[in-house]
Amino acid sequence: MCGISGVYTRQLSEQHKEIVQAVMLSQINRGPDFHQLILIEGRQAQALFGHNRLSIIDLSDQANQPMWDSSGRYCITYNGEIYNYLELRKELKDLKLQFKTESDTKTDTNKKTW
C-alpha cells in the first residue's frame, strides 16, 4: 500500500516542506520502492505532495507518482488500486488513447519534481 501526504497553502514555507518530508519518512514502510515530493504552484496558492510507492502492478520508473497529464495542468497522486483497470484500459485504447505505462493510472509525463 502506498502512502501520500501533502499541504495546500497560500504561501509555502520551509516548515511545510519539512512536515511533508517527515510524514513521508514516517510512512516509508508503506511505499519503500520510490518516494517523491512535488510542488504545484497556482496563481494564489501552492500545493506540495509527497508520495511513497509500493510497486505492485508496473515495476518501472514510469509508473511512479505523482503523475501529470500531457498538458501539464493536471496531476494525480493517490493511494489505492483500480481493480478494473484492464477493462478501462481496453475501452480507452479503443478510443485511440495511448499509454506510457502498464500501471493502473494513465499518465503522459512526470514534471515539476522538487
Active site members: 2
Identity of the amino acid at 6: G
Closest CA relative to residue 57, chosen from 109, 107, 114, 105? 105
First to last CA, the chain: 23
Q: Quote the CA–CA distance of 89 and 8 in Å, as a whole number.
A: 31
Spell out where the chain has E strands: 3-9, 34-41, 46-53, 67-68, 75-76
The grid coordinates listed for 93 are 485504447
Cross-strand bridge partners of residue 34 = 53
